[in-house]
A = this chain, B = another copy of it.
Amino acid sequence: MKIGELGKRTGLSVHTIRYYERIGLLPPADRDASGQRDYDGSVLVWIGFLERLKTTGMPIREMLRYAELRTKGDHTGPERREILEMHRDRVRAHLADLQASLLVLDTKIDTYVDLEKRTRKHDDTRPPSPGNRSRAGKQTGSRNKIGTRAART
């Protein structure tokens, strides 16, 4: 597989792929007769894993450390596991943070919805809410009852 093909399959630009190789995130690619990079399928798995690490917010420096250990062989397993465990804990914390923030958002949105309802009550000549075409449908009424009263920030 040439670099362009790999780019298409992974969604990375060829620039990014070469950049990853340059900094050491990807192992130096095999070359074909004319010196061009020639990838085999296994790199797809590795890139997929890197993308997981990226979406979970691992900085490149830490991915590099992991990649470096990987090339050093099986005996680095325990240290790699440690990196992943530390990262997992961070991800779990961030997840909890996001969930809490989601509640805040829901509550605030409900405040706005209530406000609009009340406004329409005092002015029923107004058409049934221009901004209310249910967007992506799901869980529109999701008020996670906790306080329901958001501070008027």
Binding site for B on A (CB under 8 A): 45-46, 48-49, 52, 55-56, 70, 74, 77-82, 84-89, 91-92, 94-95, 97-99, 101-102, 104-106, 108-109, 112-113, 115-116, 129-131, 135-136, 151, 153
Contact = CB atoms under 8 A, between A and B. Distances in A.
A48 B62 CA distance: 30
The 3 closest A-B pairs by CB, nearest first: A81-B112, A78-B131, A49-B153
A113 B105 CA distance: 39
Nearest to A79: B131
Interface core residue of A46, A99, A153 (most chain B CB under 10 Å): A153
Given A81-B109, A104-B52, A116-B78, A135 B92 contact: no
Contacts of A92: 102
A136 B55 CA distance: 24
9 contacts: A49-B108, A56-B101, A78-B131, A84-B112, A88-B105, A89-B135, A91-B98, A91-B101, A95-B99
Contacts of A82: 131
B56 A85 contact: no
Contacts of A45: 151, 153
A74 to B, nearest CB: 8
